[in-house]
Amino acid sequence: MARTKTQNLPDLSALLTPKNSLMLAVERAVLRGQDWAYASVPIAEQIAARLAGVITLDLVKSGQRLLEKDISEVLHVSRAPVREAMRILERDRLVEFQARRGAIVTAPDEDELRDIFRVRSVLYLTMLEQVVRENPAELEALLTAHVPKLAKAAEESVDAYAVESFLLNFATVDLCRNRLLADVLQSISLRTFRYVRLGMVAAPQSIRASLKVWRALQRAAIKRDGELLLSLAASRLDEARDAAVRAIATKPADGQRARAPKTSRISTPGSLGEETPA
Q: What is the pLDDT of residues 15-27, one digit of tens each?
A: 887 777 777 778 7
pLDDT digits (tens, 9 = 90+) for 108-128: 889 999 999 999 999 999 999
Using CA atoms of 68, 41, 11, 164 in order, give the dihedral in degrees to the nearest 10: 140
pLDDT digits (tens, 9 = 90+) for 158-199: 999 998 999 999 899 999 999 999 988 988 888 899 899 999
Is-contact 84 44, C-beta < 8 A? yes
Q: What is the mean pLDDT of residues 210-232?
A: 97
pLDDT computed for residue 187 by the predictor: 84
Please state, for a pLDDT cut of 90, what percent of the chain lies above it: 55
pLDDT computed for residue 263 by the predictor: 37
pLDDT computed for residue 10 by the predictor: 86
Contacts of 269 (CB under 8 A, 6+ apart): 36
Contacts of 278 (CB under 8 A, 6+ apart): 72, 78, 79, 80
Give this prediction's pTM: 0.77
**Coil/strand/helix, residue 188:** helix
Q: What is the mean pLDDT of residues 82-109?
A: 90
- Residue 268: what are its φ and ψ, rounded to 5°? -125, 160
pLDDT computed for residue 254 by the predictor: 44
Q: What is the mean pLDDT of residues 203-212?
A: 94
Contacts of 162 (CB under 8 A, 6+ apart): 22, 193, 196, 197, 200
* Euclidean distance between CA atoms 206 and 149, whole angstroms: 17
Q: What is the mean pLDDT of residues 267-274?
A: 46
Q: How is the chain split among helix, strand and coil, in percent rounded to 5?
A: 65, 5, 30
Give the model's confidence band at 32: pLDDT under 50 very low, under 70 low, under 90 confident, else very high: low
Nearest to 154 by CA among 140, 168, 141, 172: 168
Give the model's confidence band at 252: pLDDT under 50 very low, under 70 low, under 90 confident, else very high: low
Q: What is the mean pLDDT of residues 125-144?
A: 97
Looking at the predicted structure, is the pLDDT value of residue 246 above 70?
yes
